[in-house]
Structure 1
Amino acid sequence: MNTILLTFGLFLIVILAMSVGYIFSKRSIKGSCGGISALGMKKMCDCDTPCDTLQKKLDEAQAQGGGIRVDS
């Protein structure tokens, strides 16, 4: 039981130290893998038709006279 409590305490200390470092650095969190573009994908899915949420945004943008660029 002591080992579990010691391990939990160590994890809490590490998480606290990381959060304090993040707060004081005032930088945004950046991914290390390069994101979707590193996989050669231009959007989140390779669907031929956009999902309902994206279609709604496209319709609203078109109604306002603007446009959203979607590369397929």
Structure 2
Amino acid sequence: MSTFIAAFVVLLLFFLLMSVGYIVKKKAVEGSCGGLGVLGIEKACDCDNPCDARKLRMQKEQERKDMLNQNRII
């Protein structure tokens, strides 16, 4: 039982330190390899002509961004 408690405390300490680092640096946690950007792919769907479902999602996303910008206080 003491091993479980010790592991739990270490895990909580790890998350606490990560959150303090995030608050101080204002930077998101990211991988070291760079992901798809290293390969020259800017987005997950890198096709020239996206399908209708993708176009609809992109339109909804843009509408949501426009609404947030329009209702922004600061």
Match of 2:5 in 1: 5
For 1:33, give the aligned amino acid: C
Superposition RMSD in Å: 2.7
1:1-55 C-alpha deviation (Å, 9 max, x unpaired): 1101110111101111110121122x22163221212134343135574133432
Show structure 1 runs of 4+ deviating over 6 A. none
DSSP-derived class of the 2:9 partner: helix
Q: Which runs of 5+ in 2 are unaligned?
A: 63-74
Between the two proteins, the alignment pairs up a number of residues equal to 58
1:10 maps to a residue whose letter is V
1:46–1:23 Cα change, 3 Å? closer
CA distance in 1 between counterparts of 2:2 and 2:17 reads: 22
* Identical amino acids, percent of aligned pairs: 43
Structure 1 gaps of 5+ residues are 62-72
2:71 matched to which residue of 1? none
Which of structures 1 and 2 has the larger relative contact order (alpha carbons within 8 angstroms, sep 6+)? 1
Higher percent of residues as helix: 2
Q: Output the amino acid matched with 1:22.
A: Y
**What's the TM-score, normalizing by structure 2?**
0.54
- In structure 1, what residue type is equivalent to 2:8? F
- TM-score normalised per structure 1: 0.55
Matched, 1:28 2:27: yes
